[in-house]
Amino acid sequence: MTRMLHARSHAWKLKEPFAIARGIRSEAQVVIVELHEDGVTGRGEAGGVAYHGETPASMLAQIEQVRAQIERGCDRQQLLQLLPAGGARHALDAALWDLEARRSSVPVWQRAGLRQWTPVDSAVTIGIRDIAGYEAAARARADYPWLKVKVGKGSPLAAVAAVRRGAPHARLIVDANQTWSIEELRQYVPALLPYGVDLLEQPVAVAHSAALAGYDGAIAVCADEALSTLEDLPQLIGRYQFVNIKLDKTGGLTAGLELAHAARAAGFRLMVGCMLGGSISVAPGMVLAQLCEVCDLDGPWLQAEDWDNGIVYQHGRMSLPTLWG
């Protein structure tokens, strides 16, 4: 066996500036990994976790640290011991899964032990904007099954009402990215009920998660920033009803599947999410989506450019990827 590793950074342009409570981005910066082995190529891609301090440069530096082991034939389980959870490990893990699938002619979802593949319907995100913009964006996506509404500090009611006017039938996720207090959460939930909101994603700061222990609101709360890896799971029990698993945070599909099974065993309902990035970055998440109730894998959909033969979104429904896995 002869294996060669190639890694580089890349920037995908977005369709429009993407605004959330933490800031605004106009491009998706990623690292891309290729593993060439005996005429077969496996690919991986990752955006990393910016709020953990990850950048393309830091991820590439981590990848270089383990180049020798990877090229000597390191497998996915060994990779878990070589690198910490994060974007670098996600990109390498994805490339190893892809390489295995292509060498064996067995798709990743089967190699992951799943019994069947079902279509994946992803939420698509409406970033922070003015009220008229929320309604216009929702109207343009009115036939999508799920919409995620990004909001910031202060009452979300006007934004959510605008989205509901534009998309009367879509299921809604409201994501405040840690900007509300527990008191505001309790205040907003009854007011949001008439708009049919299905899920609140990380409304309060991670540091205030303990205050959710007594939360009995009618809208389920999902941990996002509060969950990265399996080690975080115990402290979320009794505080959140859902957990959002992102492979950039778990450090790849291998660890993500382990976390998903453990979370289900602990009584959590599951959501799969993603960071900004192209089709190869989210394709492993489509495997994890087979175990999840809620899917938010719209990274490539938000981009103005993507891989050739990338994932196609038909009103939120994602095509089975052919370029990976």
Q: Is 175 a known ligand-binding residue?
A: yes
Catalytic position from the list 15, 150, 153, 249: 150
Q: Is 305 a known ligand-binding residue?
A: no
- Among candidate residues 214, 194, 173, 190, the one with its CA nearest the CA of residue 316: 173
- Give first-to-last CA distance, the chain, whole Å: 21
**What is the crossing angle of helices 253-265 and 87-104, to 10°?**
100
Establish whether 246 is a catalytic residue: yes
Q: What's phi and psi for 295, nearest 5 deg?
A: -125, 130
Catalytic position from the list 15, 148, 153, 246: 246
Helices (H), the chain: 56-65, 67-71, 76-82, 87-104, 108-111, 131-140, 157-166, 182-192, 247-250, 253-265, 279-288
Q: Is 224 a known ligand-binding residue?
A: yes
Give the number of other CB atoms < 10 A from CB of residue 156: 26
Annotated binding site: 175, 201, 224
Catalytic amino acids?
Answer: 150, 246
Annotated binding site for Mg(2+): 175, 201, 224
